[in-house]
Amino acid sequence: MNTTHIHWLGHDAFRIEDAGKQIYIDPWKLKTTTQNADYILVTHNHYDHFSQEDISKITKATTKIFGPADVARQVGKNAVAMHPNEEQIIDKIKIQTVPAYNIGKPFHPKEKDWVGFIITLSDGTTIYHAGDTDFIPEMTSLQVDIALLPVSGTYVMTAEEAIEAAHAFTPKIVIPMHFGEIVGTQNDAERFKTGFSGVTEIKAIAE
């Protein structure tokens, strides 16, 4: 399965191209040469995921922003508030929210209603961005082609916990994320690749 349309921008930030549309997820520390966004998806309101400065770099008049209620309130215009287990269909793209939270640590409480996203592209490919989460029970019922999973530990799953999660719902490809900034290193991604029985693609940060 081709992943050249998925660009890792560091940490949890991605740019996904689909049918001429540009979809950003958790844009942070963007370079100045970035392309304008058609859609921006924000998983939660921590500064390294919800950066109004970076959002302003890629926003045009028609950009739509999707995120939890506490994000949408701050964005205001062109923002769509989404709780877990909701969906929006825009153009030929479907955006679904799924829960994202910690188990046994305090950083991402379930009651905040923060989210991960499942994006169904115009060709039917499904991409799951887990957000900042542990291996939670809701993951076991996922059916997705490509999974973007945190692997750094501390605030999210460790590499070993991410391996367990990926084996539970068996995506065709996993792209590790949430390392190289704040917490986690390339070694976490490599440990995931070694332990996961499926296909792992460790992306270089896009230029």
Neighbours of 16 (CB within 10 A): 23
Residue 176 and residue 147 in contact, taking contact as beta carbons nearer than 8 Å: no
DSSP string, 37-51: PSEEE----STTT--
- Measured at the CA of 117, the angle between CA 100 and CA 153, to 5 degrees, comes to 40
pLDDT by residue (tens digit) across 73-112? Answer: 998 788 999 999 999 999 889 999 999 999 989 999 999 9
Q: Phi, psi at residue 78, to the nearest 5°? A: 65, 15
State the pLDDT at residue 34: 74
Is 0.85 topped by the overall pTM? yes
Which CATH number is 6-200 given?
A: 3.60.15.10
Q: Which DSSP helix (H) or strand (E) runs through 189?
A: helix 186-195
Closest Cα partner for 117 from 101, 104, 134, 100? Answer: 100
Express each pLDDT in 26-68 by its tens digit.
Answer: 999 998 667 899 999 999 999 999 999 999 999 999 999 999 9
Q: Is residue 78 a contact partner of residue 65, using CB atoms and an 8 Å limit?
A: yes
Q: How far apart are CA 12 and CA 16, in angstroms?
A: 13
